[in-house]
Amino acid sequence: MKKTILVSLIAASMSFGALAQTSTTSPMPAPKADADKNAPLPGANSFTEGQAKSRLEENGYSSVSALKKDDNGVWRGKATHSGKQVNVSVDYRGNITRN
């Protein structure tokens, strides 16, 4: 009887940690620091034009303009970064690249 109670207590205490865990999945793809080295990646891009623009602005780009989704599902346009106008792209993973 004591052995059964002891085993039950051990099993209960081991499963308690799993119950306390929460998900930290981000709704947005990883920031530029974690960008794929092969970006921009072709694929079915679910970002709207507004979301692609916001993604660029959140990463230090301003004056974002002329965003258009190409045949590979990559948003491409122009923006200003560090005072210079650059060509930019946002792929389906949210990777930002300068072209």
Domain spans, the chain: 2-30+40-98
Output the pLDDT for position 21.
Answer: 47
Q: Looking at residues 26-34, what average pLDDT do you find?
A: 48
Predicted confidence (pLDDT) at residue 74 exceeds the cutoff of 80: yes
User: Which residues does 31 contact at the CB level (< 8 Å), separation at least 6?
Assistant: 59
Mean pLDDT on 48-60: 98
CA angle 28/77/52 to nearest 5° reads 15
- Give this prediction's pTM: 0.63
**CA within 13 Å, CB half, 33:** 1
Please provide the average confidence, as pLDDT, over all residues in the chain: 80
Q: Give CA angle at 43 (58, 39), nearest 5°.
A: 55
Q: What is the pLDDT of residue 15?
A: 54
pLDDT at residue 98, rounded to an integer: 94
